Homo-oligomer: A and B are copies of this chain.
Amino acid sequence: MVSKAEDFNEWYNEVVERAGLTDKRYPIKGMNVWTPWGWSAITNADALMRREMARTGHKEVYFPLLVPESEFMKEAEHIRGFEQEVYWVTRAGKNELDIPMCLRPTSETAMYPIFSLWIRSHADLPLKVFQICSVFRYDTKQTRTFLRVREIHFFEAHTCHADAEDAERQIREDLSIMETLGRELCVPYLILRRPEWDKFPGAWYSLAADAWTPGLRTLQVATFHHYRDNFAKAYNVTYETPDGGREFAHQTTYGMSERLLGAIVAIHGDDKGAVLPPTIAPTQVVIVPIPEKGRQDVILSEARTLAAELREHFRVEIDERDVRPGAKFYEWEAKGVPLRIELGPRDLAAGVVTAARRDAEGRTTIPRSDVVSQVRDLIRRIQEDMYARAEGALRSAIVDIAAPEEARDAVNRIGWCGNEDCGHQVEADTGMSLLGSPYPPEAYEGTCIVCGKEAATAAFLAKTY
């Protein structure tokens, strides 16, 4: 395998394949097959999201995939934002359809006509729903597994509120959910308010969670949009106020996708393969019996007893195949299993098992009698260490620069007057994207990197995926 340090892009392609997270041989570019391993990992992440949604009173729904052209066309900015990248169904059987239908690129236009029926009065607010589904975007840039695909495994929460302030509170709740998820998935990020020209089409403002990858680019892994009443006006989402008036609802969305899995692979993988955090690893602990001639039965039976014991607490696999242990190690390392436990004749004699963390070198010995609590402890430490390392990498990627020519393959912090022209200018000068300014806003002393006037804010500049 090519080394991560030498050629990150090529390494990324190889590691995804070697880990068996996806099969890219499906005959449509950008539409990949979710293998059992990959599907288990992403649906474990979905389960974390569902838990957070339940905790915060969001209800799960499922809206149809297809959106009639007439509904899709109701919000002008939204159309302009997506018109180049939606797929259209124009034919059914042998019939041309009277009204073409698009495959949802996101579900505002599918949901909001129905929200306008669901919401009658202020008592129906806030409305908080989410769905986990495929969305489709005909992205013409080069596709890349999990990071830029055309059928996207997607999470989208949609909420409606009585006013902009309550929608604002929702955004804060979303950010706190994201904080929990970022820790659990071992993906640290910066929350940035996107500049005006990079908002979601139809949004009042857009926040994004940007992770830092060893590809020396940032990766947007989540977005949070405050729509004010912009979509509500297009789709007539109104409610009766306590005093009998009618007001438009204020709306928000919170989106995440399989990019989170791509971020995990990119950030934590190494030259042996993927490194999955215990939270989402389909197998958290793999047990590899180390055979000895004449004692195979004893060792296998002990390994099975161990597996049964651990299975009550963790996701456990026992690898009983008739293959050399070294080949098994190699394979489970490539797949990213957080913890390997070896059980051989010497371990057996000494009343121990041997544990190897995927995210660190070396092996440790664990007393057999204390195996559950020590494995629990190891799993917790793997989780914490993986996050801490990624967090350290993100922090050290942030560099302050004072002139466009100083921009590096890093997260460049600049001063910015907030003027759109200066923003575009620095993007042109550096070939990088202006990601936006810290959110919540932070005090910043300095001058605009372009015009030299007093900076209104810090802003971040980086190459992006």
A50-89 interface (Cβ within 8 A of B): 59-66, 68, 70-71, 83-89
Q: CB < 8 Å: which of B61, B83, B90, B101 contacts A93? A: B83
What residues on B are CB-neighbors of A151 within 8 Å?
64-66
Contact between chains at B93 and A33 (CB < 8 Å): no
Contact between chains at B114 and A26 (CB < 8 Å): yes
Question: A32 at the A/B interface (Cβ < 8 Å)?
Answer: yes
Q: CB < 8 Å: which of B32, B68, B91, B103 contacts A28? A: B68
Q: Report A37 CB to chain B, min CB distance, Å.
A: 9
Q: How far is the CA of A391 from the CA of B103 in the complex (A)?
A: 42
What residues on B are CB-neighbors of A62 within 8 Å?
33-34, 39, 153
What residues on B are CB-neighbors of A66 within 8 Å?
28, 31, 87, 151
Contact between chains at B93 and A91 (CB < 8 Å): no
Question: A327 at the A/B interface (Cβ < 8 Å)?
Answer: no
Q: How far is the CA of A103 from the CA of B84 in the complex (A)?
A: 20
Contact between chains at A27 and B92 (CB < 8 Å): no
**Beta-carbon nearest neighbor of A35 in chain B:** B61
Question: A9 at the A/B interface (Cβ < 8 Å)?
Answer: no
Contact between chains at A27 and B86 (CB < 8 Å): no
Q: Report A24 CB to chain B, min CB distance, Å.
A: 10
Contact between chains at A63 and B114 (CB < 8 Å): no
A23-B114, A151-B64 are contacts. A84–B94 as well, Cβ < 8 Å? Answer: yes
Q: Report A118 CB to chain B, min CB distance, Å.
A: 8
Contact between chains at B138 and A93 (CB < 8 Å): yes
What residues on B are CB-neighbors of A425 within 8 Å?
none
Contact between chains at A28 and B101 (CB < 8 Å): yes
What residues on B are CB-neighbors of A118 within 8 Å?
23
Among the interface residues A88, A92, A110, A138, which one has the most CB atoms of the partner chain B within 10 A? A92
Question: A1 at the A/B interface (Cβ < 8 Å)?
Answer: no
**Beta-carbon nearest neighbor of A85 in chain B:** B93
Q: Report A107 CB to chain B, min CB distance, Å.
A: 11
Contact between chains at A36 and B61 (CB < 8 Å): yes
Question: A447 at the A/B interface (Cβ < 8 Å)?
Answer: no
Q: CB < 8 Å: which of B25, B65, B90 contacts A90? A: B90
Q: CB < 8 Å: which of B26, B40, B84, B113 contacts A63? A: B26
Question: A129 at the A/B interface (Cβ < 8 Å)?
Answer: yes
Question: A117 at the A/B interface (Cβ < 8 Å)?
Answer: yes
Contact between chains at A92 and B88 (CB < 8 Å): yes
Contact between chains at B92 and A87 (CB < 8 Å): yes
Question: A134 at the A/B interface (Cβ < 8 Å)?
Answer: yes
Contact between chains at B64 and A31 (CB < 8 Å): yes
Contact between chains at A25 and B114 (CB < 8 Å): yes
**Sample of 9 further A-B pairs with CB below 8 A, known A34-B62, A36-B129:** A23-B117, A26-B64, A26-B110, A27-B70, A28-B66, A28-B101, A65-B134, A88-B89, A88-B90
- Top 6 A-B pairs, shortest CB-CB distance: A36-B59, A92-B138, A34-B62, A31-B64, A88-B91, A84-B93
